[in-house]
């Protein structure tokens, strides 16, 4: 599944340019024009990386950076700050607030794409090898294969994408709406109960033989891949 990038930029021409180039590079993109919209979007769908303008209507980029670093769901999401500020003290302030990188406008698009790729690799080293592992489960994302206890398990396309998404973010609890946005897409209307149906199908297939269920249901909230699943298995 392509990485999801949240672009927070109030200048429409720059936002459009970034969306065009990011989508051309194979990323999924959501955009926000002000701080409040960005904060709301980050709660609906947790991105894999954030491009964050410093000067914004509403909460500033610095304030948003503080909020996201304080929030459990977004504390490890890579953030690149985009700004016209070139003063060294301001760069240091942005980095100290929690930004991972800092790009001064006007910037080179190829350089920005290279920095994005590097940060995504650093944040998700499993992307390089294309294999996600937890406990006795191994998900080969490149060849679309799942193995559990050494045996291959066949999954439908939607269940595969759902499991991959949850395994890429162990411990994070996602609401049904967030899962719909990330798996089915924001442009498609699907009833929230559809998520429960596909989670049920996924569990039925991967837990045959009374195996430990790696998917955790958080009552009233949503679902998560149990971050303790691998640790439990490794201790045995």
Each domain of the chain, given as residue ranges in start order, spans 4-124, 127-235
**Cα 54 from Cα 61, distance rounded (Å):** 4
Radius of gyration of the chain (CA): 19
pLDDT band at 211 (very low <50, low <70, confident <90, very high): confident
Q: What is the helix (H) or strand (E) element at residue 145, kind and residue range?
A: strand 145-148
**Cα 236 from Cα 227, distance rounded (Å):** 16
The pLDDT tens digits for 38-70 are 999 998 888 999 999 988 899 988 899 999 999
pLDDT of the residue at 51: 95
pLDDT at 234 over 50: no
Nearest 5°: the CA angle 209, 214, 216 is 125
The pLDDT tens digits for 127-150 are 555 788 888 999 998 788 999 988
**CATH for 127-235?**
1.10.10.10
Instruction: Look at the domain 4-124 and name its fold.
Output: Rossmann fold (3.40.50)
Pairing mode of beta strands 222-225, 215-218: antiparallel
pLDDT of the residue at 85: 64
**Cα 22 from Cα 15, distance rounded (Å):** 10
Please tell me the pTM assigned to this model.
Answer: 0.60
């Amino acid at each position: 599944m392509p990485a999801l990038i949240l672009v927070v930029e109030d200048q429409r021409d720059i936002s459009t340019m970034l969306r065009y180039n990011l989508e051309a590079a194979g990323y999924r993109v959501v955009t926000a024009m002000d701080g409040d919209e960005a904060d709301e979007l980050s709660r609906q769908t947790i991105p894999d990386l954030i491009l964050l303008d410093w000067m914004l209507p509403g909460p500033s980029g610095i304030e948003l950076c503080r909020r996201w670093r304080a929030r459990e769901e977004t504390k490890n999401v890579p953030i690149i700050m985009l700004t016209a500020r070139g003063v060294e003290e301001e760069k240091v302030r942005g980095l100290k607030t929690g930004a991972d990188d800092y790009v001064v406008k006007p910037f080179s698009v190829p350089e920005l794409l290279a920095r994005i790729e590097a940060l995504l690799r650093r944040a998700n080293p499993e992307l390089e090898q294309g294999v996600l592992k937890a406990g006795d489960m191994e998900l080969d994302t490149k060849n679309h294969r799942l193995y559990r206890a050494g045996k291959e398990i066949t999954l439908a396309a939607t269940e595969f994408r759902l499991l991959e998404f949850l395994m890429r973010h162990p411990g994070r609890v996602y609401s049904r709406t967030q899962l719909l946005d990330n798996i089915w897409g924001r442009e498609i209307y699907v009833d929230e109960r559809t998520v429960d149906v596909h989670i049920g199908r996924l569990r039925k297939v991967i837990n045959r033989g009374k195996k430990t269920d790696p998917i955790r249901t958080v009552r009233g909230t949503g679902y998560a891949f149990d971050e303790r699943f691998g640790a439990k298995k490794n201790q045995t």
